[in-house]
Amino acid sequence: MSAKLHAVPEAVTDIAVTGDPPEFDPRQTIEDALPEGMEWDERELVLLGILGRQAQHVEKLEAELADRGYVDTGSKGQVRISPFVSELRLQYAAMARVAEAIRLPDEAEKPKSVRHQRAANRRWNPGGVS
């Protein structure tokens, strides 16, 4: 019996992860967050499709990594980390970028980031609190 790998490292959660994780569908999670009566536009639908396909790729990569392990043997017999590890890292980053591009209606007026908001506050209120 092989256990699935998890995207969140144990050090971050401080929780020991054992067994199979609950099923997680990022596309469905985002779709469920859409308020009633609202619809996605064409751009957002494309992004949701991309996010769903990326999640499928990640599941396949995680399964391969679980089967083959974290350590691999290089072409000259050297021990090296599996290339699946770096590919998964890239896939997680790509999924995060796509998910950030999907804006929920209540997020439309929010600043891009805390850093951007602080910079704007300093610009418009130089002596005040940001």
Cα separation, 22 vs 55, in Å, equals 14
| Tokens of residue 60, six digits | 């396949």
Cα separation, 19 vs 113, in Å, equals 36
Q: Specify the amino acid at residue 37.
A: G
CB 109, CB 39: distance < 8 Å? no
Per-residue pLDDT reduced to its tens digit, 49-64: 898 899 999 999 999 9
Angle at which helix 42-68 crosses helix 83-101, to 10 degrees, equals 160
Q: pTM, whole model, 2 decimals? A: 0.57
Per-residue pLDDT reduced to its tens digit, 21-34: 556 677 677 777 77
Q: What's the pLDDT at 82?
A: 92
Q: Specify the amino acid at residue 66.
A: A
Q: What's the pLDDT at 10?
A: 43
Q: Is the pLDDT of residue 87 over 80?
A: yes
Half-sphere exposure of 15 toward its Cβ, with a 13 Å CA cutoff?
Answer: 7
CB 67, CB 4: distance < 8 Å? no
Cα separation, 114 vs 128, in Å, equals 17
